[in-house]
Amino acid sequence: MRKRALIATVALVVLVVAVGLSLAIGARSIDPGTVWHAIFSFDPSDPEQLIVRDLRVSRTVIGVLAGAALAIAGALMQSLTRNPFADPGLLGINAGASLAVVISLTLGIGGFAAQVPMAFIGAGIAAVIVYAIGARGAAAGAPVRLALAGVALATLVTSITYAVLLVDDATLEQYRLWVAGSLTGRSADDVTALVPIVLVAIAAALLVSRQLEAVALGEDTARALGISVGATRVIVIVVVTLLAASATAAAGPIIFVGLAVPHLARALVGASLPWLLIVSGLGGAALVLVCDVIGRVIAPPSEIGVGITTAFIGGLIFALMARRMKVVEL
């Protein structure tokens, strides 16, 4: 318990440092003192403080939101499907949200307010399909099988997305920037609307985590403990959908955060799901911010979208995870 609390504290400190980096580093480096003043004693006449307030704060909030949401969604999926390779990006849930957003762009339903519900619908449909396949049967989805199901679903959804884009140049222009997973595409007001949704979903995840832990031990065990297996699963899928869709709507499809972070967290805090969710959430937020900062400085003067950085790093982590697994576990 004390060790876990300590690890959670360390994760929190790492996140705070990452937030600091995200506020200070960019095309124009701003010293920590100015960042401090911009937030706590704002002076509108200072251009550097304006940069921090107008650009970097909203960007950082989106990063924290998306990172925490994706990492927690990944941890929940892994527990629900009893499969270490579950990740909302890998399993096509983010792709479902993307397709829905592209359709709304094509239909000319502009505006963030209309896109978010669409993203929820798309993500929800994808989540149900992938769960139905991944968690079927007593063996509960071998990693390879679930990963392939996710890739198949993502390929299908991406093909349909491409079909829509091929007939609509204007949407393509918006899409190709958004799909790279950028934290800069949304205004602060848009994101504020997502904050309560994500917070409620995270709270629900923590509340249901003990029940989910019991279900993961086996349906019979859970029933013997008086837990409703079906209700727990439905709640978890709804929470995963809310988290993945919010993250996708805010930052574009970001992949692998939900895979890599819970893995690392599990190695640190063990199997206790509530702690796993807390540490994953903090770590995911920190990872996305760090990836975003890397993307800002690696190829000046342009920036690399955070989705590209995470897919690059995450894809390699995924391959190395596969390398480390024993043959029987595959």
Is the alpha carbon torsion for 138, 139, 143, 148 positive or negative? negative
Any contact of residue 166 with other proteins (CB under 8 A)? yes
Distance, in Å, from the CA atom of 264 to the CA atom of 320, rounded to the nearest integer, reads: 13
Q: Between 174 and 272, whose beta carbon lies closer to other proteins?
A: 174
- Nearest approach, Cβ of 145 to other proteins (angstroms)? 5
Q: Between 27 and 166, whose beta carbon lies closer to other proteins?
A: 166
Say if residues 288 and 307 touch (Cβ distance below 8 Å): no
Q: Between 151 and 224, whose beta carbon lies closer to other proteins?
A: 151
Distance, in Å, from the CA atom of 219 to the CA atom of 237, rounded to the nearest integer, reads: 17
Say if residues 104 and 114 touch (Cβ distance below 8 Å): yes
- Nearest approach, Cβ of 139 to other proteins (angstroms)? 7
Subset of 117-146 contacting other proteins (CB under 8 A): 129, 132-134, 136-139, 141-146
Residue 165 in tokens: 């884009």
Contacts with other proteins: how many residues (CB under 8 A)? Answer: 61
Name the DSSP letter for residue 18.
H
Any contact of residue 314 with other proteins (CB under 8 A)? yes
Distance, in Å, from the CA atom of 325 to the CA atom of 330, rounded to the nearest integer, reads: 7
The residue whose two tokens read 């970097």 is 56
Subset of 237-266 contacting other proteins (CB under 8 A): 255-256
- Nearest approach, Cβ of 69 to other proteins (angstroms)? 20
Distance, in Å, from the CA atom of 16 to the CA atom of 278, rounded to the nearest integer, reads: 15
For residue 95, count other CB atoms closer than 10 A to its CB.
28
For residue 141, count other CB atoms closer than 10 A to its CB.
21
Single-letter amino acid code for the residue at 292: D
Binding mask 51-90 for other proteins (x = CB under 8 A): ----------------------------------x----x
Any contact of residue 162 with other proteins (CB under 8 A)? yes
Any contact of residue 275 with other proteins (CB under 8 A)? no
- Nearest approach, Cβ of 168 to other proteins (angstroms)? 10
Residue numbers at the binding site for other proteins (CB under 8 A): 85, 90, 129, 132-134, 136-139, 141-149, 151-153, 155-156, 159-160, 162-163, 165-167, 169, 172-173, 176-177, 179-180, 255-256, 302, 304-305, 307-309, 311-312, 314-323, 325, 327, 330
